[in-house]
Amino acid sequence: MKVWKQFSLLLAAVTACIAFGLPTPASAAPKSVILATTTSTQDSGLLDVLIPIFEKESGYFVKTIAVGSGQAMAMGKKGEADVLLVHSPDDEKKFMAEGFGVTRRLVMHNDFIIVGPAGDPAGIRSAKTSADAMKMIAKAGSLFLSRGDNSGTHAKEKKLWKTAGINPDGQKWYQQTGLGMGDTLNVAAEKKGYTLADRGTYLALRKNLGLAILMEGDAKLLNVYHVIELNTAKWPKINAAGGKAFADFMVSRKVQEIIGKFGVEKFGSPLFFPDAGKKPEALGL
C-alpha cells in the first residue's frame, strides 16, 4: 500500500510539472514563421547565428525546418511553409513559373567541390572542368556516392552528369545514399568513394573525413542560395508578412556583412559569399 501511495504522489508531482511546463499552442501561433531550408544550410551553422538576431529584431518566432531543397519546395507548394531558403536554381525557376512564389531574391553563394580518396584512383586532379572530372570517374568506374534525395546538391550533381553526357543510373559504381550532406560525406569517406559536396559542410567535417578536394573552381560548381516568399493566393494561411520580413532581413546590408564574415574565424576562409542585389550574370550563371 505504501508503495502505491508513493508512486501516485510521484505521478501527480510529475504531471503537475509537465502541465505547467507545456507551452500552449496559442503562444506560438500567429507570431511564428516557418522557414523551410536545407540540411546543408542548417549544418553550416549560419542559421544558428542569423535566426536569433532576426527573432530579436522582428519579434517573430522562427521554426526552421531543415529538409532537402526538393522537400522544402514541396512544402512551399502545399502552403506548409512561410518562406524558403534554398539552392536548387533550376527547380526554383520552375517553382516560380508555376506561380507558387511571389518574389525570389539572391542571397549568397558558396561552391561545390568534388572530393574523393587522397589516392584519386580516377585521376580527376588533372581534369580541367567538372564535366571532364565526371567523365573520368565514369570511365574508371570508380565508386561515386550521390545524395539521391532531390536536394539542391543532388540537382546540381544530376546537372553535371548531364553536361558530361553520362547517365550514371543503374551503374554498379554509382550509389545513392538518400541522406543529408554530412552523412553522405561520411559514407564516401568510409567506402573511399567520390562525391559532390558543398564546401561548407566539407570544411566542417574535414577533420574526421580523410577525403581530399580534387576538383574546384569551375563556374558550373557554384551553389547559389535564394530566398523565396510564397504566394498566399492559393494558401491563405501563409504568414506573408513574416516571410517578407525574413526575406528582407536576409538581403539587408547588415546581414550580408555577417554572412561574409561567417566561418573565417573557424576555418580561415568564409563559408558563404554575400550576393544580395547582384545580377545573376555577374556570377557567371
Residues lying near another protein in the complex (CB under 8 A) = 3, 6-7, 11, 14-15, 18, 21-23, 25, 28-29, 34, 39, 42-43, 45, 48, 51, 61-66, 78-80, 179-183, 185-186, 201, 204-205, 207-209, 235, 237
Q: CA-to-CA distance for 105 and 274, rounded, in angstroms?
A: 12
Supply the minimum distance, in Å, between the C-beta of residue 253 and another protein.
26
Nearest CB to another protein, comparing residues 198 and 275 = 198
Closer to another protein by Cβ: residue 69 or 130: 69
Task: Compute the chain's Rg from CA coordinates.
Answer: 22
Shortest Cβ distance from residue 227 to another protein (Å)? 19
Residue 130 or 186: the one with the smaller Cβ distance to another protein is 186
Closer residue to another protein (CB): 56 or 207: 207
- The CB-of-132 to another protein minimum distance in angstroms stands at 29
Half-sphere exposure at residue 237, Cβ-oriented, CA atoms within 13 angstroms = 9
Closest approach of another protein to the CB of residue 18, in Å: 5
| The three cell numbers locating residue 24 | 500552449
Please, which residues have CB within 8 angstroms of residue 255's CB and are 6 or more apart in sequence?
A: 50, 53, 249
Q: Which is nearer to another protein, 119 or 236 (CB)?
A: 236
Are 247 and 227 in contact by the 8 Å Cβ rule? The answer is yes
**CA separation for the pair 250, 85 (Å, rounded):** 10
Q: Least distance from C-beta 270 to another protein, angstroms?
A: 18
Comparison of 1 and 170: residue with beta carbon closer to another protein: 1
Task: Provide the minimum distance between the beta carbon of 10 and another protein in the complex, in angstroms, as a whole number.
Answer: 8
274-278 long-range Cβ contacts below 8 angstroms, 24+ apart: 274/107, 274/108, 275/106, 275/107, 275/108, 275/109, 275/224, 276/105, 276/106, 276/107, 276/108, 276/250, 276/251, 276/252, 277/106, 277/251, 278/106
**Distance in Å, CB of 130 to another protein, minimum:** 24
Q: Which is nearer to another protein, 39 or 130 (CB)?
A: 39
Q: Which residues contact 80 (CB under 8 A, 6 or more apart)?
A: 34, 36
All cell numbers assigned to 119: 589516392
What distance in Å separates the CA atoms of residue 182 and residue 185, rounded to the nearest whole number?
Answer: 5
